[in-house]
Structure 1
Amino acid sequence: MRVVIAEDSAILRDGLAQLLALRGVEVAAAVGDADALHSAVAEHRPDAAVIDIRLPPSQTDEGLRAAVAIRRETPDVGVLIFSQYVETRFAADLLAESSAGVGYLLKERVVDIDEFVDALSRVAAGGTALDPDVVTQLLGAGRRTSALDLLTPREREVLELMAEGRTNAGIAAVLVVSERAVEKHVANVFAKLGLPPSETGHRRVLAVLRYLRHVGS
């Protein structure tokens, strides 16, 4: 797996690069601003980019805006936002750009680098990796959509766990129910959102995006 890192703090940038390299991840470039990020992605075409939200010069939302542009211009490159902030409006824009290959993790909640690498691998492979707090805030902000109101509390829990990138077995373990029960809830979510089977197989991600795309509108 080859990645590009965009982090304005030199210490955090170099530290993350070293930690990933120790676990067999090829860090093609580690940069400190959005312009350098665009150049690095164009040059190296990595499997994924790890991006902080607040990058120079304004230290506001350059990272997220760059991530949205990267997903639009190079949809085959996975994008993992790695920040201490939850920015719902631009995060929804990012998630609406594509049905797969997107992640959003909070720095203070990552306590195991191996789990981080696993999340990064899922994003690079076209999956999702969303922190539960991010999912909660995004879903909360998007509750104006009528489809959300159709879900039962349990189906909403299943949807949130799907957004974190968990398998049916993983969801069953968290909720302490059988996989068969989870399969039923997932099927209900798909049905209520009008997501029939397709060749792309991205219904799990689309189920989440159906809500998040309305956030900030």
Structure 2
Amino acid sequence: MRIVIGEDSALFREGLARLLADADHEIVGRAGDAETLVSVVAETRPDLAVIDIRMPPDHTDDGARAARRIRAAHPAMGIILLSQHVETRHSVELVSSGGFGYLLKDRVLDVDEFLDALTRVAAGGSVLDPEVVGRLIGRPHRDDRLATLTPREREVLALMAEGCTNAGIGRRLWLNERTVETHVGSIMAKLGLVNNAEGHRRVLAVLTYLGQH
């Protein structure tokens, strides 16, 4: 996989590059600020961009804003945002288009899980850190359909928001996959998403749960 890294901390950037290179990925570009990142991505056309949310010049959400520009210019490119703290402003818009991940930097320490997340995002999937999901779903909901979900269905939908497959949800909740499929079908029916394609309606369900659809 060809990867660009956008990270202003040289130590973290080079450590991440070494980790990814050791996993047989090709680092085709590095950037320490948001503007350089956008240029490097345009020049190298990677499969995936791994971007720190807080970057120069403003050290606020420059990386996330650069990610939105990159998504607009290269809609098929995978994007993973990394952050030291949970910041949710840009997450829902990006996750709705697929090929997106948002992880706290601590997750990089679980190398196998992190590398798996990169693969899933590059393939068009979405991965959200559990803490990010927790912050998003903690906001007031604006959709009354959510009130019809059972506690178990809400647990299943929360794991869908993290990017889990039905099999992954089953492992997390100690349920067999057929039971998870039943819960997912019930969720889709209650949210009125039964006539959408499977991948598309999972995203719509997550957006509904995050209170933004």
TM-score range, shorter chain: over 0.9
- Unmatched segments (≥5 aa) in structure 1: none
Question: What residue number does 2:189 align with?
Answer: 191
Which digits, 9 at most, give the CA deviation of each residue in 1:25-67, with x for residues without a partner? 1111111111111111111111111111100011001011111
Question: What residue number does 1:57 align with?
Answer: 57
Of 67-76 and 10-19, more deviation after overlay is shown by 67-76
Question: What residue number does 1:175 align with?
Answer: 173
In structure 2, the CA distance between the partners of 1:66 and 1:89, relative to structure 1 (3 Å rule), is same
**How many angstroms does 1:205 deviate by?**
2.5
CA distance in 2, matches of 1:213, 1:51: 25
The TM-score, its normalising length taken from structure 2, stands at 0.92
CA distance in 2, matches of 1:148, 1:189: 9
Question: What residue number does 1:145 align with?
Answer: 143
State the number of aligned residues. 213
Of 47-56 and 173-182, more deviation after overlay is shown by 173-182
Of 140-149 and 113-122, more deviation after overlay is shown by 140-149
**How many angstroms does 1:197 deviate by?**
4.8
CA distance in 2, matches of 1:199, 1:157: 22
Pairing 1:103-182 to 2, within 5 Å after superposition: 103-182=101-180
In structure 2, the CA distance between the partners of 1:172 and 1:194, relative to structure 1 (3 Å rule), is same
In structure 2, the CA distance between the partners of 1:36 and 1:131, relative to structure 1 (3 Å rule), is same
Question: What residue number does 2:73 align with?
Answer: 73
The 8 Å contact of residues 53 and 85 in structure 1, kept in 2 or not, is answered as no
CA distance in 1, matches of 2:188, 2:126: 17
The 8 Å contact of residues 64 and 94 in structure 1, kept in 2 or not, is answered as no
1:37 aligned partner, one-letter code: L
The 8 Å contact of residues 50 and 82 in structure 1, kept in 2 or not, is answered as yes
Question: What residue number does 2:47 align with?
Answer: 47
**How many angstroms does 1:84 deviate by?**
1.1
CA distance in 1, matches of 2:178, 2:209: 25
In structure 2, the CA distance between the partners of 1:162 and 1:199, relative to structure 1 (3 Å rule), is closer
Q: CA RMSD in A?
A: 1.8
CA distance in 1, matches of 2:125, 2:30: 23
Say which structure, 1 or 2, has more relative contact order (CA 8 Å, 6+ apart).
1
CA distance in 2, matches of 1:44, 1:116: 23
Which digits, 9 at most, give the CA deviation of each residue in 1:131-168, with x for residues without a partner? 11111111222523323323221111111111222221
The TM-score, its normalising length taken from structure 1, stands at 0.91
What percentage of aligned pairs have identical amino acids?
59
**How many angstroms does 1:213 deviate by?**
6.3
Question: What residue number does 2:15 align with?
Answer: 15
CA distance in 1, matches of 2:167, 2:197: 23
2:161 aligned partner, one-letter code: A
Question: What residue number does 1:35 align with?
Answer: 35
